[in-house]
Amino acid sequence: MKEQGKIADTGAPGKERVTMSKKLFVGSLSWNTDDRALREAFSVHGEVTEATVIADRDTGRSRGFGFVTFADDESADKAVAALNQTELDGRTIKVDVAQAKSRDSRPSSSRW
């Protein structure tokens, strides 16, 4: 899970607080769902800082999943609870907190 810190001014000198953003994984997307539709579906639950449908680099066609980043954890958690296993563009989507991609997750080559 990739979280990015933002400094929020509390008004008191030396009393800034760090707010965290939270990235969600959204799976089983329709081929027709684009970044705008993804953002619209999730923005009712809080401030969306980024919404991206992942596309195949060769064809440009959706790969059927994407990521939505919320400005704060609470909104992201509400979105997971409200939207997981619901319908978007005719498909039942899966919504969960994104996990950090491990560099060691690639299969090792045992050809040699």
pLDDT tens-digit readout, 15-61: 454 557 999 999 999 999 999 999 999 999 999 999 999 999 999 99
Expressed in percent and rounded to 5, the helix, strand and coil fractions of the chain are 20, 35, 45
pTM of the model: 0.76
* Number of domains forming the structure of the chain: 1
Domain assignment present for residue 6? The answer is no
**Pair type for strands 22-27 and 94-97:** antiparallel
Query: Buried b / exposed e across 40-51, counting CB within 10 Å, b at 16+?
Result: ebbeebbebbeb
The 10s digit of each residue's pLDDT in 60-103 is: 999 999 999 999 999 999 999 999 999 999 999 999 999 988 77
Q: Is residue 34 part of a domain?
A: yes
Note down the domain range covering 91: 17-97
CATH code assigned at 55: 3.30.70.330
The end-to-end CA distance of the chain, in Å, is 34
